[in-house]
Structure 1
Amino acid sequence: MVLIAAVGFTGVPSSASAAERDAATNSLGASGEAFGINDSGAIAGLVYVNDSSAHAVRWAPDGTPAELPKLSGDKNSAAFAINSRGTVTGWSIAGDGIPHGVRWNTDGTMTTLPPLPNDTFTSVSDINDSDVVVGMSRTSDWPHAIRWSPDGTATALSPLPDDDASTAHAINESGVIAGGSITYDVTRAVTWDASGAVTELPTPAGFESSEAKGINNNGVVVGEAWSGNGLNPHAIRWDPDGTITDLGTLPGHTDSGAAAVNAEGTVAGFSRKAYYEPHAVRWSADGSTTALSTLPGDVTSEARAINADGTIVGHSRSVDTSPSGVHAVYWTKDGKVHQLRGL
C-alpha cells in the first residue's frame, strides 16, 4: 500500500528504481516512519519536523516527498495506507492528542471518518481498492473494530460471542478483514468476511492469545501469538487450508511479529531479544528468515509493509530515542536498505 499525494494529486507515478529514489534523497534524510507501499512503489508514512511535530507524507516512486494536509486546527498527522486508486487513509491529530481517522481522496478533498455512537475518536489501519477503510473506534478503554464504506458510513465489526472488544488491521480486495477479538485477558485472531460475519483463527498450541495483522488476496493471514501478559510473541502465518506456521525468530532472539504478507507469501515483520532491539526481518514463502540491515550507525529496525515485488518499508533507529533518531526507510528485494528523503 501507498500514501496519496497532496491536494491536487492526479495519479500514481510510474515505478522507479532504487537508484532513482536514492538520487532524489538529499542529505536531509527523513526522520520519520514509513508504513505503507503500493505496487507502483509509492510510499506512505510520516516525517518529523523540528524534532517534534509529525506530518503525513507520500513519497512518489522516485523518492520525492509530498506533505498531506491536516484537518483545520490539527497539529500532527500520519498516513498509513494507500490503494491502487491513489486514495490514502491515516490520522489527523488535534492539539489534545485525539486522533481523527481521515481519507485523502484523489481529487484533493479530505473525508473525516466518524467514530461509532458513544465513542470519541478513531484510528485507521488499511484501505482496499474499493475505498473501504478499516480501523478502530474507541473511547478511553475498549477498541471496536470498524469498517467505513466509500461514502464514509461506519459499520461496527462484532467480536466473537462473549468477547468485549475488537481490532481491525488489514483488508484484502475481497473485503475480508483481519484483526482480533478481545476479552479482559485473552485476544483471539479473527477474520470478518464482506458481510461482517466473524471467524476465529485457531491460536497455535503453546500460546494463549493471538492477533491477525495482515492478509493477502489469496486469504493468507499473518500476525502473532503470545503467552500470558503478552510475553514472547511469535510471528504466525495462517494458510487457507488450515495450516498454522510459527515463523520463528532470528538466531538468539526470543520474540517476533508479522505485519504484512504479499501475494507471493513473503512476510515482513520483526525479530528481537525480549522487548529490546527489534530487527526488521523477511520470511520467504518457505519460512526461511532473512535479517534486513539498519542504516549505518543505527541499531534497531522494524518492517511494516511489503508490495508485490518484495520491496519492504519501515524504519531504522539510532540510539537517540527522540524523533530525530528514527529514520523512514525501504528495503529492496536484495535486502539493501535505503533512507527516504525528508520534507
Structure 2
Amino acid sequence: MLSSLKKPLIVGTLLAAAALGLPGVATAATAGPVDLGTLPGDTFSRVTAINAAGTMVGESYPRDVRMRFHPVKWDKHGRISALPTLGGEQGSAIAVNDIGVAVGWAFDVHEEVHAVRWAPDGTVTALPGAGSSSANVISRTGVIAGSSVTAQGTPVSVRWAADGSVTELAALPGGGQTHVTGITGDGALISGQAWDSAGNDHAVRWNATGAITDLSPGNQGNPGATAAAINDFGVIAGTVTEAGRQVPVAWKRDGRQVRLDWPASPASATPRAINNAGVVVGSGDVDFAENRAVRWSAGGVTVLEPARRSEAVALNASGTVVGNVESVAARWAADGTETILGALPGGQYSWATGINPEGTIIGMSDLSYGWHAVYWPAS
C-alpha cells in the first residue's frame, strides 16, 4: 500500500485549492493494518474501543441470516479471546476503560438482554435494571452509563455507579426518550440527547444525581441539536440547527455555547470527537455536499483533506487525528501531515474508528467475503 503525505490547508484557501488542484504529493510505504481475526467458526468481526494499554473490545459473528454477535476482547498484541455472556448465545463489548473493565450487553439463558460489565479477567456481571438494557460508556473510575427499560416498559437512560447502584437519568419536562453519548473520566458528567414533547432533539448533560441540563433550550421548534462527545473537563462538542443546517458548536462546563467557525456556510459541519485540550474534529460539507475532514482548535478551523471526500472521527491527547479519505483509513499528525493507512491484502476499503494515547489505531477493513476488525500499531 502507499501513503499520501501532505500538509493541510486552512479553510480560507479551500476554494483556491480546489481550483488549482493538489500540490505535489510525496509517497511512503506502509505496512497496512493488522487483521484481528474472529473467533473459531465466525466470519466477521468489529472492534469498538481501545484503552491506553492497547486492550481492544468488540464482537465476532458468523456469516448467517440470523445475526449472532459474540463479545470478544483482544490484547495489545491482537490475540482474541471470547468474553462470557450470561448464559445466552449473544453479546457485544462496546467500551473499555484504562484498567481493562469492559461494558456492553449480553443475553441470559432466557434470551433476555442485559447491560453487563466484564472485569479485566473476563468475569461477567449483570448490571441492575428492570428490563432490557445496554451499557454504552464507562469512565476511568468505573461509572457506567447506557440504556434500560422501566418496569412500565418506558425506555430510559441510566447511570450505574462503581458499586453497581443505578440512577435513572432525567428526561426533559414533558419529553420522551434520551440517549447517552459520552462520559467524563471521573464519571461526574454524562453527555447525550433528549427529545422534547414536540419530538425535537436537544443536546443535554446529566450530573451524578441524574439531573438534566438542557444545553439547547432555544431549540424548541427546530429539528435537532446534538451532543456528539464530551471531554474530561466537561466540554461538549455537537451541533445546533439553524435555517435547516447543522452548525458546529461547543458547550463549556458552565453551559455557555461557543460557535465553531465554518466559513463554508451555509453548508453544514458536524463535530465527532473532542480531546482534553479542547481540539474538536469532524467533517464539513463543501461543494456538491461532499464532506471534508476538519479540525477546530484555538488556532481556528483547518480542513485536513481539502480535495477529497473525507471525515475525521477520533483523536488522542497528542492531537493525532484518524478517520478516512475516499473510504480508506487515514491518519493526520498534529501538524496536519496526512497518511493513508491502507486496507487488508485483497481488500479495497478500510475505516479508522478510534485511537489510543500511544497512537494505536482501531478500525475495520474489507476482505473478499466481508469485514474484519483491524488495528494499526503505533508508529
Taking the TM superposition and a 5 Å limit, the aligned residue runs for 1:4-153 are 15=53, 22-25=78-81, 36-40=95-99, 64=122, 66=124, 69=127, 71-74=129-132, 77=134, 79=136, 81-92=137-148, 100-128=156-184, 129-138=186-195, 141-153=199-211
Q: Is 1:333 the counterpart of 2:377 in the alignment?
A: yes
Q: Is the 8 A contact 2:358 2:378 kept in 1?
A: no
CA deviation after TM superposition for structure 1 residue 261, in Å = 1.7
How far apart, CA to CA, are the structure 2 residues paired with 1:193 and 1:43?
29
Partner of 1:258: 312
How far apart, CA to CA, are the structure 1 residues paired with 2:166 and 2:143?
10
Deviation per CA, 1:34-84: give whole Å up to 9, x if none: 7545444655556799xx99775666667x48465473232x6351x2221
Structure 2 unaligned residues grouped into runs of 5+ = 1-50, 56-73
Q: Is the 8 A contact 2:245 2:266 kept in 1?
A: no
How far apart, CA to CA, are the structure 1 residues paired with 2:346 and 2:128?
33
User: Which of 194, 206, 211 is the equivalent residue of 2:270?
Assistant: 211
Q: 1:146 to 1:20 in 2, by over 3 A?
A: closer
Question: What secondary structure does 2:174 align onto?
Answer: coil
Taking the TM superposition and a 5 Å limit, the aligned residue runs for 1:145-294 are 145-158=203-216, 164=222, 165-205=224-264, 208-227=267-286, 231-241=289-299, 243-248=300-305, 254-272=308-326, 278-292=327-341
How far apart, CA to CA, are the structure 1 residues paired with 2:120 and 2:344?
20
Structure 1 unaligned residues grouped into runs of 5+ = 1-12, 273-277, 336-343
CA deviation after TM superposition for structure 1 residue 175, in Å = 1.8
CA deviation after TM superposition for structure 1 residue 267, in Å = 1.4
Q: 1:57 to 1:309 in 2, by over 3 A?
A: farther
Q: What RMSD in Å do the two structures reach over aligned CA positions?
A: 4.3
Percentage of pairs with the same residue: 36
Q: 1:23 to 1:331 in 2, by over 3 A?
A: closer
CA deviation after TM superposition for structure 1 residue 220, in Å = 0.8
Deviation per CA, 1:71-123: give whole Å up to 9, x if none: 3232x6351x22211112223369xx985322232112232222211221011
Deviation per CA, 1:186-237: give whole Å up to 9, x if none: 11110111111101011143771112221111111111111489x3111210
Letter in 1 for 2:282: G
Letter in 2 for 1:117: P
Deviation per CA, 1:121-165: give whole Å up to 9, x if none: 011111002420001001574210000011110010026799834
Query: Quick check: which has more Rg, 1 or 2?
Result: 2
Aligned residue pair count = 303
Q: 1:93 to 1:256 in 2, by over 3 A?
A: farther
Question: What secondary structure does 2:264 align onto?
Answer: coil
Q: Is 1:309 the counterpart of 2:366 in the alignment?
A: no
Q: 1:73 to 1:33 in 2, by over 3 A?
A: closer
Q: 1:142 to 1:270 in 2, by over 3 A?
A: farther
CA deviation after TM superposition for structure 1 residue 22, in Å = 4.0
